[in-house]
Amino acid sequence: MSDMTIIKDTIATVHYHGTITGTDEVFDSSHEREPLSFLVGHGQMIPGFEAALMNKGAGDQLTVHIPCAEAYGERDDEAFQQIPLAHLPEGVEVGVQLAAQTESGHVIPVRVVALDDSEATLDFNHELAGQDLTFEIQVISVRPATEEELAHGHAHGPEGHDHH
Ligand code: ZN
């Protein structure tokens, strides 16, 4: 099992450090936390992240440059919406992030980009849309997913025992 490599339906446990490509801006890093475990091949991670890890094994280290199309997508110039101020928390300001519920029931962060007397303009793009990303990734371990993890569509921690 120690020489297992990352393929669909394995659980990969990795440390990662993500920056906006070409800058020092860190948008996410696991280094101050436990490493991340995820079920491979089930849409848990951005496509470019999983693709780079295919066939890697414990101990492998890599640096990956992921174009935005393989990360959080291009920015969508249509993804703006005018919302009456009455529907928003009192005192919203430009730049503030709010939680919005999508038609499919997911809660996503949206940003207030403009305000007038009656309406706010909200930007529904993901914060990282349009950004090329660079990850330094270290593979900690790889194991087969359990039946339960495959049924749930997500990892239950490095050992597969985590409750949730
Ligand atoms: Zn579960």
Give the model confidence (pLDDT) of 69-91 as tens digits: 999 999 999 999 999 999 998 88
What's the DSSP call for residue 44?
S
pLDDT at position 163 is 66
Model confidence at 1: pLDDT above 60: no
Model confidence at 102: pLDDT above 80: no
Alpha-carbon gap, residue 74 to 1, rounded angstroms: 39
pLDDT at position 11 is 97
Average pLDDT rounded to a whole number, residues 113-137: 95
pLDDT at position 161 is 85
Rounded to the nearest angstrom, the distance between the alpha carbon of 161 and the centre of ligand 1 is 10
Q: What is the pLDDT of residues 135-145, one digit of tens each?
A: 999 999 999 99
Rounded to the nearest angstrom, the distance between the alpha carbon of 10 and the centre of ligand 1 is 15
Rounded to the nearest angstrom, the distance between the alpha carbon of 136 and the centre of ligand 1 is 27
Average pLDDT rounded to a whole number, residues 38-55: 96
With contact defined as beta carbons under 8 Å apart, do 132 and 67 qualify?
yes
Q: What share of the chain is helix, strand, coil (3-state, %, to 5)?
A: 10, 40, 50
Confidence class for position 164, pLDDT limits 50, 70, 90: low
Rounded to the nearest angstrom, the distance between the alpha carbon of 102 and the centre of ligand 1 is 23
Rounded to the nearest angstrom, the distance between the alpha carbon of 41 and the centre of ligand 1 is 16
Rounded to the nearest angstrom, the distance between the alpha carbon of 44 and the centre of ligand 1 is 13
Rounded to the nearest angstrom, the distance between the alpha carbon of 159 and the centre of ligand 1 is 13
Rounded to the nearest angstrom, the distance between the alpha carbon of 47 and the centre of ligand 1 is 21
E strands, the chain, are 10-20, 26-29, 36-39, 61-66, 80-84, 97-101, 107-115, 119-123, 133-144
**Taking the alpha carbons of 73, 103, 92, 116 in that order, is the dihedral positive or negative?**
positive
Residue that the structure tokens 């920015």 belong to: 75
